[in-house]
Chains A and B, each alone.
Chain A
């Protein structure tokens, strides 16, 4: 086991005491990012933060700890961009005016989302939405400098890379992580070129602001991308096609 995997498994042992199970994966933390006791307080800290307040369009990952946030953002009239689990069926758009009041809670669950929201391609995101103002993710473990230990798949980094390449975010777009206190570790980590470091970390008891977090502008580094991700994630295929046809700016 590499160093990251070791500390992640230690964090998972602590998380087991406060985590809520997934409807399919139970407590198998290798498969999903868990909701946890106190996530309402952590999300409330985020909702009170200037990044959320000033955002019109928020990207929120499909992590279980952010289900309440997706619901709250819909109620607050934010445009919510998310993905299906593992990005396997791409990006989805949730807008309050498209979703009847009694379906908003349902829309914020993974089971309901794809039955209520609208699938959007990267080109749709660029042309119809144009800008994403704030990104929020859960994560297995993170340090106080906002560097995520991830769960080994790099989904959030891929999402950041795709949205950045499409020009809807820039390196100054804020990103936040929502975690339980037991997921905040002391270890020093050196971010990789494609690591999206959080500007702020919200826990049930703390708000950790990060100074000058590293934000990638490298898009998707195709040579470093796991081939399985490319094969199973349609928007990555779309992006590669757009790049090969010269339809997005590369540098």
Chain B
């Protein structure tokens, strides 16, 4: 993807480097990885404001069950959703342990105000098999952080393929459809006006929410999203994990 050029002819790698530079000024360290931004999507200055913007969206107010990534950028969103009593499905970091469900109703009341971060989700989340994930019902929304996003909703850069994989799994479990709203939450510094052509595996965002604005992307209408998993985007290290074994079995049954 690094050799791709934008519609205006600018190389993706150059645009990404500019975004790294801008983002590092507003990005927060991770409790484990520090400022090694090649390992995680950071939380940022104003992430609480962006989170507030997300939960005040009409589409979000009605949500009962939300799929949300483990990115630090959306920890404040997870926090507000948990406080709002919304059920969350969160992939484990790196998808090592598949998917976790966070059900605010069964969480100790004292934990609710500070439960959006991964260490808390590790405590209060419950590991889900794919059968259980499917049985839990449809996702009203998908919310993700991103290294960077174009104004057309293409998420790109570090870790972008995880959501693509997760989407394909959710889609084949029948808990998202082509119409399910995908929201990307980023700092303004992570957006770019350059336009890159998405790959067939990319899950583009319908809405981009930053601390200062909410952008409804032009690509929303008509563009299909992947409906099956392209196994070539799955890292080899994940192929033998329980989640992907179960997924293979399910696919073979279907």
Contact = CB atoms under 8 A, between A and B. Distances in A.
Contacts of A228: none
A24 B32 contact: yes
Nearest to B29: A89
Contacts of A88: 29, 34
Contact of A21 (B34, B97, B113, B117): B97
Contact of A112 (B33, B110, B119): B119
Given A24-B93, A89-B34, A106 B122 contact: no
A105 B114 contact: yes
A3 to B, nearest CB: 29
A143 interface: no
Given A85-B32, A86-B34, A21 B111 contact: no
Interface in A73-116: 84-86, 88-89, 102-103, 105-106, 109-114
B31 A85 contact: yes
Contacts of A85: 31-32, 34
A89 B118 CA distance: 19
B18 to A, nearest CB: 26
B228 interface: no
B94 interface: yes
A204 to B, nearest CB: 19
B110 A24 contact: no
Given A23-B93, A112-B119, A106 B114 contact: yes
Given A113-B31, A114-B31, A21 B122 contact: yes
Nearest to B72: A111
Nearest to A20: B122
Say which size band chain A's interface belongs to: 20 to 34
Given A85-B31, A88-B34, A111-B31, A23 B114 contact: no
B110 A23 contact: no
Contacts of B111: 105
B93 A105 contact: no
Nearest to B114: A106
A88 to B, nearest CB: 5
Contact of B30 (A24, A105, A109): A24
A31 B120 CA distance: 19
A32 B33 CA distance: 12
Given A109-B120, A110-B31, A102 B114 contact: yes
B181 interface: no
A33 to B, nearest CB: 12
A230 interface: no
Nearest to A27: B96
A25 B119 CA distance: 11
B128 interface: no
A27 B97 CA distance: 10
Contacts of A86: 34
Interface in B30-58: 30-34, 40
A26 interface: yes
Contacts of A22: 32, 122
Contact of B94 (A26, A109, A114): A26
A111 B34 contact: no
Interface in B79-130: 92-94, 96-97, 110-111, 113-114, 117-122
Contacts of B121: 23
Nearest to A62: B31
Interface in A1-35: 21-27, 31-32
Most A Cβ at <10 Å: residue of B119, B121, B122: B119
B97 A32 contact: no
A85 B32 CA distance: 6
Contact of B110 (A25, A27, A102, A110): A102
A82 B94 CA distance: 27
Contacts of B114: 102-103, 105-106, 112
Given A23-B93, A111-B120, A112-B120, 16 more contacts: A22-B122, A24-B33, A24-B40, A24-B118, A26-B96, A27-B96, A31-B32, A32-B32, A85-B31, A85-B32, A85-B34, A88-B29, A105-B110, A105-B111, A111-B119, A112-B117
29 contacts: A21-B96, A21-B97, A22-B32, A22-B122, A23-B32, A23-B93, A23-B121, A24-B40, A24-B93, A24-B94, A26-B96, A26-B97, A84-B31, A88-B34, A89-B29, A102-B110, A102-B113, A102-B114, A105-B114, A106-B114, A106-B117, A109-B120, A110-B31, A111-B31, A111-B75, A112-B114, A112-B117, A112-B120, A114-B31
Interface of B: 29-34, 40, 75, 92-94, 96-97, 110-111, 113-114, 117-122
